[in-house]
Amino acid sequence: MKKAFFVIGILLLTISLVNAVSQEELNEAKALIDSKISCDTLTNEQLEEIGEYYMEQMMPGEAHKRAHEMMGLTEGSGAEEQFHIDLARRSYCGETAAGGGMMGRGMMGNYQPHYNYGYSSFWNGLWIIFLIGAILFVIWIIYNFTRKAKEPETPINILQRRYAKGDISKKQYEEMKKEIER
């Protein structure tokens, strides 16, 4: 039983050492944030710590590590450090990344520089026109199927209706029909 607790303790210790961010770094970053120090006086190392702190708050533990993997960032690489610096500049300093977007141009910074967002308003306008047309078409179909189709008032129709009601006999109906058809 003691061996099982020892193995579990070693595993937990190993997992805590493997984490992307140490508790000491998080405490330092929190202290920097709480001090409300100006962004102009922060070094890149301090900005990286603040970025790590914000990332850890958004995605704690393994989620932080998996997010780095999904973005193609390796631990300790220049790209990973720059990502955290940029995150700190946006979150703490209120700056925006060059080219806009969450992480540069587009989510991963991979949109072409000539990408033009102006076309989206054109397509949105077409989409709205299409939706309005579809709604009007559905209303027109419902209207046409729900309104009572009126037959034209012809003498034959009036005669058939009178015979159906019993206003006239079959003999009278036949005579009047012959008279109308002449």
pLDDT tens-digit readout, 85-112? 888 888 778 787 554 444 444 444 444 4
Q: Does position 48 have pLDDT exceeding 50, yes or no? A: yes
| Mean pLDDT, residues 41-66 taken together | 80
Across 5-14, 74-83, 86-95, 100-109, least confident range: 100-109
pLDDT at 117 over 90: no
Instruction: Please state, for a pLDDT cut of 70, what percent of the chain lies above it.
Output: 73
Q: How far is CA 70 from the centre of its chain?
A: 19
C-alpha–C-alpha distance, residues 171 and 162, integer Å = 13
- Return the pLDDT at 3: 64
**Averaged pLDDT score across all residues of the chain:** 75
User: Which stretch, 7-11, 26-30, 166-170, has highest mean pLDDT?
Assistant: 166-170
Question: How far is Cα 131 from Cα 137, in angstroms, rounded to an integer?
Answer: 10
**Is pLDDT of 17 > 80?**
no
What token pair was written down for 141?
């179909």
pLDDT at 154 over 60: yes
Helix, strand, coil shares, percent, the chain, to 5: 70, 0, 30
Domain boundaries, the chain: 2-91, 120-149, 151-182
